[in-house]
Amino acid sequence: MAPRPIVGVLLAAGSAKRFGADKLRVALPDGTAIGVAALKSLAAAVDAVVAVVRPGDEVVAHALGSNGARVTFCPVARDGMGSSLAWGVRAAPLAAAWVIALADMPWVRAASVARVVAALRGGAAIAAPSHNGAHGHPVGFASGFYAELSSLSGDEGAKGILARGPVTLIAIDDPGVVRDVDVPEDLM
């Protein structure tokens, strides 16, 4: 019997209100869309990726799907990140662990994601990167957190679970783990 997979859950269902446009479609200097860049780093280190997209966002869904993600439309995406995260985890219930990544973090290196995956494979219950003392993304959760993760709702995400720990923090020399795109100036 094959071991259970470690599944990346790419959260790509946000509304991008602060950005003023669909930021996941915006091209980085190398021509890669923000959402696709985040997907590629995640996919390089996990066994499979589920991308959670808001209903009607066919362009992002197609871009992520054509780059290897299994796309699922979250009907409650407007309720917030917690709802989207729960939807993504429920889409892969038999995973050994989930690595939760944000599609607006295109600068996370694949090697950083691999370090989170290695910590999970090594027995960590929760693993997350840190850079210069700041907690970053992606965050990995072992399968024992399925009930809690799959029942999240609202916009808080998994902060409550992280606060209870235990979190294995991995010091990483990758500023991408703490850098996201909220407004156009973040691309400078």
Which residue is associated with the tokens 């871009």? 63
- CATH homologous superfamily, domain 6-187: Spore Coat Polysaccharide Biosynthesis Protein SpsA; Chain A (3.90.550.10)
CA atoms within 13 A on the CB side of 64: 35
CB count, 10 Å around CB of 70? 13
Q: Distance (Å, rounded) from C-alpha 19 to C-alpha 102?
A: 15
Residues 41 and 109: beta-carbon distance below 8 Å: yes
Q: Could you report the per-residue pLDDT of 131-153, keeping only the tens digit for each?
A: 999 999 999 999 999 999 999 99
Q: Distance (Å, rounded) from C-alpha 149 to C-alpha 155?
A: 13
- First-last CA distance in the chain: 48
Residues 84 and 51: beta-carbon distance below 8 Å: no
Residues ≥6 apart with Cβ < 8 Å to 49: 7, 8, 9, 10, 39, 42, 43, 68, 69, 70
pLDDT band at 111, cuts 50/70/90?
Answer: very high
pTM listed for this prediction: 0.95
Whole-angstrom CA distances from 151 to 22, 35, 54, 87, 158 are 28, 25, 18, 9, 10
Q: Could you report the per-residue pLDDT of 71-101, keeping only the tens digit for each?
A: 999 999 999 999 999 999 999 999 999 999 9
Q: 3-state DSSP: the chain helix, strand, coil percent, rounded to 5?
A: 35, 20, 40
Q: Is the bond into 29 cis (omega within 30 degrees of 0)?
A: no
Q: Could you report the per-residue pLDDT of 16-29, keeping only the tens digit for each?
A: 777 877 899 999 99
Question: Domain spans of the chain?
Answer: 6-187
pLDDT at residue 2 in the model: 66
